[in-house]
Chain A
């Protein structure tokens, strides 16, 4: 693949030749290579100078404090995956529909693709990487393995974060639309309703429900 800039001059590819590349794709569609200015595939510098305006951000991810400077357009998902290099959370639809990017922020699960990182100053974020304690898997992780609750596994990090938050929501007594009265009975119906924000194209739903039921002590 040769990328031309149309003017016969240097190409984006020229810049990449022979370099050890640490590249970062910006939300404007441009790339930063080895800390360079933001450039686009045309080989030109970013037409949007404002794109490089960075904002300071401090937050905690999986117990580790981070102090970074970010483009305010960067989603929490992109921050975690591209800047912090935690590749567990997945970008599925990038529009808050599939749940593959689910993270737990200050105890509540959210779609990290629909949340600007810059808004998370001081927040405590947990991704799938933060569920296990050292070498000990989270009970849900073990249950997913035992019950074979996945096929390709792409959605699993989101499913696990969602399920972990679900257990807390049950303990807290938060109702779902099918909850009647006080307290929550952990039926399969409840689990399915509460996990409906996570889509799995392999269709591993039955085994996912089984895994969560095992950990939550629920009944069929």
Chain B
């Protein structure tokens, strides 16, 4: 793992003044990527204690904090009652150990588990698309390596750890 500067945020307002680096929630995806040196942030900003772990009932919705764990979300009475598919989907994924640590924000932002993406010795359009290949060039430009396991979003230039992960759940909006 490459060296990095570690910062811990205690209050959410601090987020606005934070630049560079990656936000660390549960870390079940990011730490793994850092071990593989796919992610090499200079600054790691720990937001897991910044108070963004509430589940609130609103008029016609439920607001879920980005640091709510998968376990807490899946077992919350509101979710069990009104969004049973979401609860079931969460409980179907990973393991109890991972669900205890993984967060809602991280869930939306996690990166693909494709074995080629993880193989840094070889080219991957998704991992380094902004460096070498433009998405617009499409599948023609994908290396033979990447073409062997194409996925629907393989060319999609998802935010590199930021932005909307594109995961609308049960017709709900996801804002990250």
Interface assignment of B71: CB less than 8 Å from any CB of chain A: yes
A12-33 CB mask vs B (1 if < 8 Å, else 0) is 0000000000000001100000
- Are A175 and B75 in touch, CB under 8 angstroms? yes
- Are B48 and A119 in touch, CB under 8 angstroms? yes
Size band of the A side of the interface?
35 or more
When distances are taken between beta carbons in the complex, the residues of chain B under 8 Å from A75 are 31
Min distance, Cβ B145 to any Cβ of chain A, angstroms = 22
Q: How many residues on B have C-beta within 8 angstroms of the other chain's C-beta atoms? A: 31
- Are A196 and B95 in touch, CB under 8 angstroms? yes
Min distance, Cβ A120 to any Cβ of chain B, angstroms = 10
| Stretch among A2-10, A81-89, A105-113 lining the B interface | A105-113
When distances are taken between beta carbons in the complex, the residues of chain A under 8 Å from B95 are 99, 196-197
Interface assignment of B3: CB less than 8 Å from any CB of chain A: yes
| Stretch among A47-55, A60-68, A126-134, A149-157 lining the B interface | A47-55
The total of Cβ contacts below 8 Å across the A-B interface reads 88
B21-38 CB mask vs A (1 if < 8 Å, else 0) is 000100110011001000
With A96-B32, A121-B8, A175-B87 as contacts: A73 and B97 at CB distance below 8 Å: no
B1-44 CB mask vs A (1 if < 8 Å, else 0) is 11111101000000000000000100110011001000000001
- Are B96 and A118 in touch, CB under 8 angstroms? no
**Chain B residue with Cβ nearest A97:** B95
Further contacts, 6 of them, CB under 8 A, given A55-B6, A116-B6: A48-B2, A51-B3, A73-B3, A108-B101, A121-B8, A177-B88
* Interfacial residues, chain A to chain B (CB-CB below 8 A): 27-28, 48, 50-51, 53, 55, 72-73, 75, 94-96, 99, 102, 108-111, 114-116, 118-119, 121, 162, 165-166, 169, 173-177, 194, 196-197
Q: List 23 A-B contacts (CB under 8 A).
A: A28-B3, A50-B3, A72-B44, A75-B31, A95-B35, A96-B32, A109-B96, A110-B98, A110-B100, A114-B28, A114-B31, A114-B98, A115-B27, A115-B31, A115-B101, A116-B24, A119-B8, A119-B48, A165-B96, A166-B96, A173-B75, A175-B91, A197-B98
